[in-house]
Amino acid sequence: MICRPFSIDRARDTSTVISTITAMIGITGGWLYRTFPFVFLRRRVNHDFTSRSALNCDKTDRKREGSPSSEVLRQSDDGPFPPHSCVTELIIVKHRTPLSLFLILMYAASSAAQAGHSEVVGAITCGIHSDIEALCGAHHPEDIEPTPDGRYLIATAFLDEHPTGLVGGGLDLFDLKKKTFSRMTIIDHPDRSWGDPACPGPIDDAMVSHGESLAKRNNGKWALYVVNHARRESIEMFELTQTGGRWTLIWRGCEIGNHPYNDVAILPDGGFVGTQPMALLRPGEKITHGTGITGYVAHWAPGEGESEITTTRMRFPNGILVSPDGRYMYVNEFLGGHVLKVDLKDGKRVGSINVDFLPDNLTWTPQGDMLSAGIKGGPTEKCPKENSRPCDLSFGIVEINPASMQIRRQYDSEGKDIIVAGVTVALRVGDDLYLGSFTSDQLVKMRVTKLGTR
């Protein structure tokens, strides 16, 4: 939900609608090529929707004011939604498109509103820039997790690498010392004690990774669960092992979701909770600026299967965490601008906090606090009217005490020099913060001291 297309090459010039459309054709071609076989050749009973976007921007108003007409710019009282967007509706029809394509269509549509800009700076160049550093070589690192030894980061790769959809982004391993990326090796070794018995088998190289969760199982083994959007909408389950000083993944099982997942959090019993942000969309339903409830959090447990946590219906549930003891769940409500705390014992909401950005992913800090990060898009963000910076280049970060659900420290990039497109996650490692993005080919490192007290 940003005002910029899903861009692999981070195009520097989007001064015309034509250039934007041309870029999107090339970028999304692989997705569309893969999606149609998904719809017509790989259809499953549970996959009964697809999506298309409809644009109804007032070209006259956009040319004059740099934004769509006032009729399009309806704001919800429930929280922030990216303003000045040409997206007026998204219609859900016969079959379901993967969540990743849904997001791409939304980004592509909203990018048209920025056609009046003479230049769009997608990201900083690789290397050190004063007190920040751009670390190139990633593949749209939408989510990141630290390895148990603290020497590496595991970054998801939210893109296709081949137009047939047979080769996805997989997962990247970032060496914190060498500052290098490498694709993680995956070994197939199914284990029926992991995942759902109905899992059809390994995903191999096709995986398009989104959210992820790393935790130690009761038997002491490290588990990494990953949201996948290729071939199937699933949670892929891996054992993380170390051989010869290098971290490797062993594919153990999967769970095919009733609806596309966005993020996942592992539970102590080997189960998980996962956000399904579009689970409640009906055929023909429109998503507008004032869209209400769209999805919920699902729970999966070994031997029990998947079920909805009925108290978690909200406006696009996104990032999710679970407390170490498995008692509490923390969820980012993306469209509502809230971070929620839910007691998993009875499903009751026991805490909530508002943020002034669109909260995407959640991560733990070594001190036991949480970091929530996301792009700016509320009424305070003038994008693109009277603002030379595209809205996806502004982002917010908050550090939250999970017990009190109070903000300790926060960061707002608006008006500052840190330029990162489409920030979705912030992870603390030592005295540094690493920022990931669904649009970028880099991680960005900044000092944790940039988080100011509230």
Instruction: Return the CATH number of the domain spanning residue range 127-453.
Output: 2.120.10.30
Q: Rounded distance, CA 158 to CA 169, Å?
A: 6
Burial 242-257 (b: 16+ CB within 10 A, else e): eeeeebbbbbbbbbbb
Q: Which residue has the higher pLDDT, 89 or 240?
A: 240
- At residue 166 the predicted structure's pLDDT band, cuts being 50, 70 and 90, is low
pLDDT confidence of residue 291: 82
**Average pLDDT score, the chain:** 75
Q: What is the mean pLDDT of residues 68-90?
A: 31
Tell me the mean pLDDT in the region 294-307: 96
Q: 58 and 72 in contact (C-beta within 8 Å)?
A: yes
**How large is the average pLDDT for residues 138-145?**
95
pLDDT band, residue 415 (cuts 50/70/90):
confident
- Rounded to whole angstroms, how far apart are CA atoms 428 and 75? 33
- The pLDDT, as a whole number, for residue 394 is 84
Q: What is the pLDDT of residue 102?
A: 56
Q: Where in the chain is the domain with CATH 2.120.10.30?
A: 127-453
Q: For residue 218, what pLDDT is reported?
A: 87
Of 104, 84, 88, nearest to 25 (Cα)?
Answer: 104
Residues 6 or more apart whose Cβ sits within 8 Å of residue 98: 35, 38, 229, 230, 233, 260
Reported pTM: 0.77
Count the Cβ atoms, other than its own, within 10 Å of residue 448. 18
The pLDDT assigned to 67 comes to 28
Residue predicted with more confidence, 108 or 305: 305
Judge contact between 367 and 431, C-beta under 8 A.
no
Which residue would you say has higher pLDDT here, 219 or 15?
219
Res 422: pLDDT: 87
Amino acid (1-letter code) at residue 160: D
More confident of the two residues 143 and 72: 143
Q: Strand order in 338-343's β-sheet?
A: 317-322, 328-333, 338-343, 349-354
Mean of pLDDT values over 341-349: 96
How far apart, in whole angstroms, are the C-alpha atoms of residue 427 and residue 364?
Answer: 7
Q: Tell me which of 33-42, 51-60, 155-164, 242-251 is least confident.
A: 51-60
Q: Who has greater pLDDT, 130 or 202?
A: 202
Top-confidence residue, 376 or 105: 376
pLDDT digits (tens, 9 = 90+) for 179-189: 999 999 999 99
Q: Which residues pair with 412 in a beta bridge?
A: 396
pLDDT band at 273 (very low <50, low <70, confident <90, very high): very high
Q: What 3-state DSSP class applies to 56? A: coil
Mean pLDDT of 41-55: 28
What is the residue-wise DSSP string for 432-448?
A: EEEEEESS-SEEEEEEG
Confidence of residue 388 (pLDDT cuts 50, 70, 90): low
**What integer pLDDT is reported at residue 18 of this predicted model?**
33
| DSSP-assigned beta bridge partners for residue 370 | 364, 400
Sign of CA dihedral 395, 400, 405, 408: negative
pLDDT for the residue numbered 414: 79
Tell me the percentage of the chain whose pLDDT exceeds 90.
Answer: 55
Residue 212 and residue 96: Cα distance in Å, rounded? 22
Q: In which band, very low, low, confident or very high, does the pLDDT at 336 lie, cut at 50, 70 and 90? A: very high
At 131, the pLDDT band (50, 70, 90 cuts) reads confident
